[in-house]
Amino acid sequence: MKIHRDTIENLLNHYPSLRSRHDDVLLACARELSDEVSRRVLCAHEALGKIDPDNEPAWEAAREELDNAEAAFLEQHSGTEISL
């Protein structure tokens, strides 16, 4: 298993092989960090997974929160270097 050490932005954009090992590369990056913005991504992802997709208003609200959490994560950590 090859380990890539690079910035989060580069891991997301330049290593397609990571997608075969990590279904969601951004989520894998968030798991590697332990700050508040990373936990927000993890919690939003978990919350979205628990929502009944037939409950459209709740699903859309959870999806919006995940989008916002991921945007905040990238704003804060796109230059952060990690290993995946």
The predicted-structure confidence for 1-58, as pLDDT tens digits, reads as follows 557 788 888 888 877 777 666 668 889 899 999 899 999 999 999 999 999 989 999 9
In this prediction, residue 1 carries a pLDDT of 53
Phi, psi of 83 (to 5 degrees): -115, 130
In this prediction, residue 4 carries a pLDDT of 77
In this prediction, residue 37 carries a pLDDT of 97
| Domain residue limits at 42 | 5-83
CA proximity to 73, closest of 26, 6, 32, 28: 26
Q: How confident is the model at residue 69 (pLDDT cuts 50, 70, 90)?
A: very high
The domain total for the chain is 1
In this prediction, residue 5 carries a pLDDT of 85
List the structure tokens of 69.
């959490």
